[in-house]
Amino acid sequence: MKFKRVGRSLELQSLKATSLYAKPAEDEGRALIRKSWRCLNCTLLGEHDGFSKIDTGFGVWWIRNDDWRCPEDEPKDETFLTDGDLRYIPNVPYFPCTEFDKDNVRKSQVATMAMCLSCLGIRGIETYEDYLELLLKQGDGSYRAHHRATFAANGISAYFCSSIGPFEIQDSIDEGCPVAFQVPYKGSQRNPFGFNYLITIYGYSPTHWLCHDPCGRLDIVNGLWHTTVLEAGKEVLYDRAESQDRFFRGGDASGVGWLNFREN
């Protein structure tokens, strides 16, 4: 493929066994490269007749363009859908709190983790029960450590962050990954408290967050829930202005939650 913009930094991956060349169209390469070999943080210095000159960090070489790919330059399928000004990840399942966890909102973490992992098809998790079966080998889901241990035992990675802002949530959704977000669910809008309650944020507009709330529809202004009837928390739109102080209690970059779910 033809690489874009001389002078840029790029990551390359070989499409087949190939070589590095001292000059373009050289009969024999000077260094053999295996298929799927990756060259990180290269600099594109120039191009000539189907070859590219790159600074690899271990020397300046020419490569045959047809033998390499640059993942950053490849067209990407959109990982989100739009409905008017709402952008959202499709096919995020809703798992309400069950008999197992409805008596303890800390266990909302179980339903929320299951929603995120199921949406992404990680480790074959499709249902709440699939994740619960893995989790109970490590704990009951009341504590972050139980989920960390479950991830470690099953080849799952996720990044726990205590400095999430609105833009981090939006970027994650744009990349097709929902956010397991911690909400202080008690107290007034201006003085919320009560942690370890997680909801799934999987969409946004300029004015609202689109969420699956496992316990019901949260009363953003006064705390606790307007209603906890079954599926009351499905596809809930929480007003961004109203929820600002509750979601980001210490300012824009003070949100807490899990990002970047993936398989190891």
Could you report the per-residue pLDDT of 209-236, keeping only the tens digit for each?
999 999 999 999 999 999 988 899 999 9
Domain holding 67, by residue range, is 9-73
Whether residue 72 has pLDDT greater than 80:
no
Q: What per-residue confidence (pLDDT) applies to 71?
A: 77
Phi and psi, residue 160, nearest 5°: -85, 125
In a domain, 110, yes or no: yes
Q: Which of 108, 91, 60, 53 is nearest to 218 (CA)?
A: 108
Of residues 30, 29, 55, the one with CA closest to residue 42: 55
pLDDT at 139: 93
Rounded to an integer, the average pLDDT of 125-132 is 95
Q: How far is CA 246 from CA 169, 173, 181, 191, 218, in A?
A: 15, 20, 12, 8, 11
Query: Quick one: pLDDT band at residue 100, thresholds 50, 70, 90?
Result: very low
Grade residue 99 by pLDDT with cuts at 50, 70 and 90.
Answer: low
> Over pLDDT 90: what percentage of the chain?
66
In this structure, which amino acid lies at residue 22? A
Q: Where are the alpha helices (DSSP H) in the chain?
A: 108-120, 128-135, 144-153, 166-174, 240-247
Least confident span in 3-17, 126-140, 151-165, 217-231: 3-17
Contact 63, 51 (CB under 8 A): yes
Tell me the DSSP string of 149-162: HHHHHTTEEEEEEE
Q: Which of 73, 90, 107 is the last residue of a domain?
A: 73
Of the pLDDT bands very low, low, confident and very high (cuts 50, 70, 90), residue 142 is: confident
Q: Sort 145 into a burial class: Cβ within 10 Å, 0-12 / 13-18 / 19+.
A: exposed
Kindly tell me if the per-residue pLDDT of 28 is higher than 90: no
**Alpha-carbon gap, residue 177 to 89, rounded angstroms:** 8
Instruction: Please indicate, yes or no, whether residues 119 and 65 belong to a single structural domain of this protein.
Output: no
214 and 100 part of one domain: yes
Question: Which of 75-79, 195-199, 210-214: highest mean pLDDT?
Answer: 210-214
Whole-number pLDDT of residue 226: 93
Residue 74's pLDDT band (boundaries 50, 70, 90)? confident
Cβ of 226: how many Cβ atoms within 10 Å?
15
Strands (E), the chain: 9-14, 18-20, 31-33, 38-48, 51-55, 60-64, 68-69, 81-83, 86-88, 156-164, 179-182, 186-187, 192-193, 198-204, 208-212, 217-218, 225-227, 236-239, 255-263
- Does residue 69 sit within a domain? yes
| pLDDT confidence band for 166 (50 / 70 / 90) | very high
The C-alpha torsion from 248 through 148 and 200 to 142, rounded to 10°, is -90
> Same domain, yes or no, for 135 and 38?
no
- Domain endpoint, select from 41, 73, 105: 73
